[in-house]
């Protein structure tokens, strides 16, 4: 597979992202009361979605690693955690942009906000645990921690929800509080961001793979 | 099964004996805890905030910080001379080691709290007329239980990584957030004597504690492998 500017995937993804931005900007209607600032919602939700998707991948890859012990599954968990951190950071940054004009505060201790922040901390802790020399024990311990984190997420969410909630619940079991055109824009964003996730994951996996190959070759050379 | 718990108990006794033979670590942790409590109360006094209202928050943050020092001890003492491998050979089951270390950590934590909690109570001058003392003690106990369980599990992880002492609190705190929430609300409810309103949080603490006491049965084998 070709990489960078030579890769057709890169250009396809760029094109879809441009379409996505066009849809968000011009196709989806401007929200009546919130105005233009509501547009950040499409980026906010999509990156939060990828953050959670990445967490699921970390969990699955961690379980697989403990089971099969293949280097690839550990790479997958690490790469997914790194990309998840980036997207969760985007969620945490786009949230206040909307919250300040609408809630009149940059931050509030709502369950979703709190859970997202805790999730961010866990991602960072996980990456810190994986960091340094990639020994077998580090990978194994990181996999255990990845599983603990995923067990912890629902605990954090439900305990904080029990405590209080003011976050708008856009997607409920009864449907969505969005106009059809907004729905199109939202689903497109979610899809595009998921594709971006897969694309980035692929690149990172490749780079981790190369890193390990270089290390192996070095070891062979100086053996 | 009795044999399992007998082994747990023996390792637990060994750890306690060892800890009281050289009390320097326990004492330093205690001094650190009292200092924390003093600094917090003093700082709050300076800004003249209604200190009795902040008691639950200050209490648990102090306990968390103290726990960083107290809980790092459980596996760290087995690092020299391959003691951990010997222990594993002797006990034969990794979860035995977990439960022994967990009980040890819980005991140490409770011992420290016996001094630190009353001290904070006095410094902050809590109006405890309506307080439900049993509920308060229950909250402290369940909170410490969860803290010891998660701390022991994560200490088993960080102790194997050279130079990863700093990682311990970083790994620990995000996992403790539900516990922090439940413990603080229970403590607050106990202080104002409205335990009906917060009894749900007690259940949360129990569920959290049970989860992180049982989860190591599945995970601890992988932690101490190799």
Domain locations along chain B: 2-223
The answer to whether the CB atoms of A148 and B167 lie below 8 A apart is no
Q: Does B185 touch chain A (CB under 8 A)?
A: yes
- The residue that leads in pLDDT, A54 or B198, is A54
**Residue B1 has which token pair?**
């099964």
User: What is the rounded CA–CA span in Å between residue B150 and residue B146?
Assistant: 6
Mean pLDDT of B101-120: 94
Q: How confident is the model at residue A164 (pLDDT cuts 50, 70, 90)?
A: low
What percent of chain A has a predicted confidence (pLDDT) above 90? 45
Least confident residue range of A33-47, A174-188, B85-99, B145-159: A174-188
The answer to whether the CB atoms of B167 and A125 lie below 8 A apart is yes
Contact, A50 vs A87, CB < 8 A?
A: yes
pLDDT in tens, A101-120: 888 888 888 888 888 999 99
Q: What's the first-to-final CA gap in chain A, in angstroms? A: 32
Q: Does B167 touch chain A (CB under 8 A)?
A: yes
Q: How confident is the model at residue B193 (pLDDT cuts 50, 70, 90)?
A: confident
The answer to whether the CB atoms of A124 and B170 lie below 8 A apart is yes
Nearest to B181 among A124, A151, A159 (CB): A159
Q: How confident is the model at residue B131 (pLDDT cuts 50, 70, 90)?
A: confident
The answer to whether the CB atoms of A148 and B153 lie below 8 A apart is yes
Q: Does an H or E element contain B139, and which?
A: helix B133-158
Least confident residue range of A175-179, A216-220, B193-197: A175-179
Please tell me the predicted confidence (pLDDT) of residue A5: 77
Q: Does B154 touch chain A (CB under 8 A)?
A: yes
The answer to whether the CB atoms of B211 and A162 lie below 8 A apart is no
pLDDT over threshold 80, residue A38: yes
User: What is the rounded CA–CA span in Å between residue B132 and residue A30?
Assistant: 54
The CA distances from residue B220 to A192, B42, B93, in Å, are 39, 41, 10
- Which residues make Cβ contacts (< 8 Å) with residue B100, sequence separation at least 6? B7, B8, B9, B10, B11, B12, B15, B91
Least confident residue range of A59-73, A175-189, A193-207: A175-189
Strand partners, A155: none
**Residue A153 has which token pair?**
């997420």
Mean pLDDT of B128-147: 90
Please tell me the predicted confidence (pLDDT) of residue A1: 59
Please tell me the predicted confidence (pLDDT) of residue A78: 94
Q: Within a 10 A sphere around the Cβ of B27, how many other Cβ atoms?
A: 10
pLDDT in tens, A54-111: 999 999 999 999 999 998 999 999 999 999 999 999 999 998 888 888 888 888 888 8
Residue A120's closest chain B neighbor by CA?
B174
Please tell me the predicted confidence (pLDDT) of residue B49: 74
The answer to whether the CB atoms of B178 and A155 lie below 8 A apart is yes
User: What is the rounded CA–CA span in Å between residue A42 and residue A187?
Assistant: 9
Q: What's the first-to-final CA gap in chain B, in angstroms? A: 25
- B-chain residues near A127 (CB < 8 A): none
The answer to whether the CB atoms of A141 and B185 lie below 8 A apart is no
Please tell me the predicted confidence (pLDDT) of residue A198: 92
- B-chain residues near A136 (CB < 8 A): 226
pLDDT over threshold 60, residue A171: no
Q: How far is A52 from chain B (nearest CA, A)?
A: 16
The answer to whether the CB atoms of A148 and B211 lie below 8 A apart is no
Q: How far is A36 from chain B (nearest CA, A)?
A: 35
Q: How confident is the model at residue A2 (pLDDT cuts 50, 70, 90)?
A: low
Q: Does B170 touch chain A (CB under 8 A)?
A: yes
**Residue A37 has which token pair?**
């600032």
Comparing CA positions, the residue from A190, A198, A189, A180 lying closest to residue A21 is A189
pLDDT in tens, B28-69: 999 999 999 999 988 888 887 766 788 899 999 999 999 999
ipTM value for the complex: 0.88
Its pTM stands at 0.88
Mean pLDDT of A7-11: 85
- The domains of chain A are located at 40-221
Backbone angles phi, psi at A175, to 5 degrees: 130, -165
Handedness of CA A197, A198, A199, A200 (dihedral sign): positive
**What value does the mean pLDDT of chain B take?**
89
Q: How far is B22 from chain A (nearest CA, A)?
A: 31
């Amino acid at each position: 597979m070709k990489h960078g500017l030579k890769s057709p995937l890169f250009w396809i993804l760029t094109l879809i992202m441009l379409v996505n931005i066009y849809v968000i900007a011009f196709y989806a209607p401007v929200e009546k009361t919130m105005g233009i600032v509501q547009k950040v919602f499409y980026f906010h939700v999509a990156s939060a979605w990828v953050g959670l998707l990445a967490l699921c991948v970390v969990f699955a890859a961690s379980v697989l690693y403990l089971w099969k012990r293949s280097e690839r599954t550990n790479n997958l968990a690490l790469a997914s955690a790194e990309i998840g951190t980036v997207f969760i950071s985007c969620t945490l940054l786009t949230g206040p942009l909307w919250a300040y004009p609408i809630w009149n505060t940059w931050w509030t201790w709502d369950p979703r906000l709190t859970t997202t922040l805790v999730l961010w901390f866990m991602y960072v802790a996980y990456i810190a645990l994986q960091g340094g020399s990639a020994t077998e024990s580090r990978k194994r311990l990181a996999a255990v921690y990845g599983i603990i984190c995923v067990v912890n997420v629902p605990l954090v969410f439900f305990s904080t929800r029990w405590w209080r909630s003011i976050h708008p619940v856009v997607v409920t079991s009864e449907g969505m509080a969005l106009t059809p055109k907004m729905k199109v824009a939202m689903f497109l964003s979610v899809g595009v961001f998921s594709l971006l996730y897969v694309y980035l994951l692929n690149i990172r996996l490749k780079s981790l793979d190369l890193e390990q190959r270089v290390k192996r070759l070095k070891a062979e050379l100086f053996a | 099964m009795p044999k399992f718990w007998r082994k747990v108990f023996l390792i637990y006794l060994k750890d306690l004996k060892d800890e009281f033979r050289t009390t320097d670590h326990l004492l330093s942790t205690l001094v650190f805890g009292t200092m924390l409590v003093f600094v917090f109360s003093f700082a709050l006094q300076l800004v003249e905030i209604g200190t009795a209202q902040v008691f639950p928050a200050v209490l648990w943050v102090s306990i968390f910080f103290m726990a960083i020092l107290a809980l790092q001890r459980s596996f760290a003492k087995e690092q020299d001379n391959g003691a951990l491998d010997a222990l594993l050979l002797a006990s034969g089951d990794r979860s035995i080691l977990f439960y022994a270390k967990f009980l040890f950590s819980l005991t140490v934590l409770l011992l420290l709290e016996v001094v630190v909690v009353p001290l904070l109570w006095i410094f902050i001058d809590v109006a405890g007329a309506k307080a439900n003392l049993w509920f308060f003690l229950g909250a402290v106990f369940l909170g410490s239980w969860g803290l010891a369980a998660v701390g022991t599990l994560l200490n088993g992880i960080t102790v194997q990584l050279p130079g990863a002492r700093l990682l311990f609190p970083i790994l620990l705190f995000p996992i403790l957030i539900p516990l922090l929430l439940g413990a603080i609300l229970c403590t607050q409810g106990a202080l104002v004597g409205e335990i009906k309103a917060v009894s749900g949080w007690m259940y949360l603490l129990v569920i959290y504690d049970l989860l992180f006491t049982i989860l190591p049965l599945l995970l601890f084998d992988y932690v101490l492998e190799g």
